[in-house]
Amino acid sequence: MRRAADLLTGDLFEVPAPRAALPGALDVGLALRHLLSNLLKASPLSRYQVAARMSELTGSDITKNQLDAWTAESREAWRFPLEYLPAFESAVETHDVTAWLADLRGARLSVGREALEAQLGRITRMRDDLARQERALKKLLGEGES
């Protein structure tokens, strides 16, 4: 039995690479609109509920009509404000936009336990590197010889 390809989960060993710094390479407006729209569709909340939750979280009045404008291909003049991103992701319970932005820049987002495990891995590598350096210095000093 063949499994369907998972297009959202990156390969564990794939190294993220930033987009080329070429003119137009980071024109991501349409892709962002699609991502926001897809996240709204996947949310169990209505757009009214998402707007209300974002309003509550930001203290600003955000409407369903604004969400519609920010996600409509035809409303190019309407841009999603970056300052609302944390409230949007919180309202729809995702980190997908932040992860997508990180990927654009050649980074990978780690959240919760994954972030702690990554930090533990860095500490382990540092400890191992320090142990190698210690052994090399002891050898140079003649402390490792009998």
136 and 126 assigned to the same domain? yes
- 41 within some domain: yes
Within 10 A of 87 (CB to CB), how many other CB atoms are there?
A: 21
Cβ proximity of 47 and 68 under 8 Å: yes
Residue 77: which residues within 8 A CB-CB, separation 6 or more?
Answer: none
Q: Can you give the pTM of this predicted structure?
A: 0.70
Domain enclosing residue 87, as ranges? 29-109
65 and 134 assigned to the same domain? no
Tokens of 126: 């540092």
- 10 within some domain: no
- pLDDT by residue, tens only, the chain of 146 residues: 444 444 445 555 677 777 777 888 888 999 999 999 999 999 999 999 999 999 999 999 999 999 999 999 989 889 999 999 999 999 999 999 999 999 888 888 888 888 788 788 888 999 999 999 999 999 999 876 65
To 5 degrees, how large is the angle CA 21–CA 14–CA 11? 125
36 and 96 assigned to the same domain? yes
Tokens of 96: 């997908």
CA dihedral sign, ordered 107, 15, 20, 37: negative
